[in-house]
Amino acid sequence: MELIEAVLAGERLALARLLTQVENDTPLGRRTQAALFAHTGQAHLVGVTGAPGTGKSSLVNQLARLFRRPPPPDGAAPPKVAIVAVDPSSPFTGGALLGDRVRMRDLAGDSGIFIRSMAARGALGGLARATSALVQVFDAAGYEIILIETVGAGQNEVEIAGLAHTTLVVEAPGMGDDIQAIKAGILEIADILVINKADRPGLENTERSLRAMLELGRPKIQPEEKDAAGGPGWTPPVLSTIATTGSGVEEVYQAILRHAEYLRQSGEWQKRDRIHLQVELEALLQETLVARWRSRVPQETFRAMLDRVFERQISPLNAVSELAQFDVNYVKD
């Protein structure tokens, strides 16, 4: 297939076309994605997540620049870098587009960087699925570093972080107490903690509370969470940056490289890859089973049952028990 070859050969236009097909979940996109799958599994996926206003985008841009830094004279070529920005704003407002334009300006002129924004989908789990699909395309196209940026701290972000080998959680000083609850949830997925906007007041407080939460979490998490090689595991570093000036970003970059090294040596890399593929298989299977049910049971059957539920003649649980039977009793003509 032409498109596949063009993408594998590194043609940007073909890549952009394929990404659109995959994001829109077209038959061509699905076919091509399946064919490219054999070429995946090479990239280092780095998730960057955190609350709005923490300056994730600037940090991601700076990191992309460091990965693309000219290598020493005897070195190999720098890795190709993809940025996938997952934006939960409505497509209607064009938030994703706007973000793209700002980035384009920052990183323009480097053909080794490819930036793609995507807006949240309506479907449950749709966003994580779609992100995973885009990441696979970049991986197959030879992008060795894939930075996945997500805004927020909800279920979606935790799922998307689940795609990554390395997850950065970005904070900023001076967040209210109310945000502590969210931090607690998201801290459990952090491999590297970054306090960005470190020139703002409140840095020491934020640092102290993050370290306290880490210490709280670790003793309970570690005993059963030894790495695949039985080693002591990875202790998330807490790093401070001012992404707008670049201050401290080099240390974050180095921590990412160290974490990649740790993942490879401990066997955690393969373990995480396997978990991620399992989650993807399960989500796809769920989607497939529902689609099959739909193709076998007429819309009117569902609607008639919904009427009965609406009239409180039958409970949702009992209604679904009945509906599921239609599928089983289906006989192919």
- The footprint of a copy of itself on residues 171-190 (CB under 8 A) is 175-176, 178-182, 184-185, 188
Q: Does 16 bind a copy of itself (CB under 8 A)?
A: no
Choosing from 10, 217, 246, 267, the residue that interacts with a copy of itself (CB under 8 A) is: 217
257 vs 289, beta carbon nearer a copy of itself? 289
How far is it, in rounded angstroms, from Cα 199 to Cα 197? 5
Choosing from 84, 115, 148, 153, the residue that interacts with a copy of itself (CB under 8 A) is: 153
Q: Does 205 bind a copy of itself (CB under 8 A)?
A: no
Q: Does 26 bind a copy of itself (CB under 8 A)?
A: no
Q: Does 209 bind a copy of itself (CB under 8 A)?
A: no
Between 106 and 145, how does the x/- string for binding to a copy of itself read (CB under 8 A)?
Answer: --------------x---xx-x------------------
16 vs 124, beta carbon nearer a copy of itself? 124
Q: Are strands 145-151 and 44-50 parallel, antiparallel or unpaired?
A: parallel
Between 31 and 60, how does the x/- string for binding to a copy of itself read (CB under 8 A)?
Answer: --xxx-xx-xx---------xxxx------
Q: How far is the CB of 149 from a copy of itself (least distance, A)?
A: 12
Give me the residue label for tokens 């091509």.
32
CA 248, chain centre distance (Å): 24
Choosing from 26, 254, 265, 286, the residue that interacts with a copy of itself (CB under 8 A) is: 286
Q: Does 202 bind a copy of itself (CB under 8 A)?
A: no
Choosing from 155, 205, 265, 301, the residue that interacts with a copy of itself (CB under 8 A) is: 155
Name the 3-class secondary structure at 282: helix
Of the ranges 15-23, 215-223, 240-248, 249-257, which one interacts with a copy of itself (CB under 8 A)?
215-223
Q: Where are the beta strands (DSSP E) in 23-176?
A: 44-50, 81-87, 113-119, 145-151, 166-171
Q: Tell me the CA distances in angstroms from 309 to 87, 219, 317, one per residue in order.
A: 36, 48, 10
- Buried b / exposed e along 108-146 (16+ C-beta atoms within 10 A): eeeebbbbbbbbbbeeeeebbbbbbbbbbbbbbbbbbbb
* Amino acid making up residue 319: A
Q: Does 25 bind a copy of itself (CB under 8 A)?
A: no
Among the listed residues 250, 238, 197, the one whose alpha carbon sits nearest the alpha carbon of residue 53: 197
Q: Contact 205/183 with Cβ under 8 angstroms?
A: no
Count of residues engaged in binding a copy of itself, rule: CB under 8 A? 79
How far is it, in rounded angstroms, from Cα 137 to Cα 274? 18
12 vs 30, beta carbon nearer a copy of itself? 30
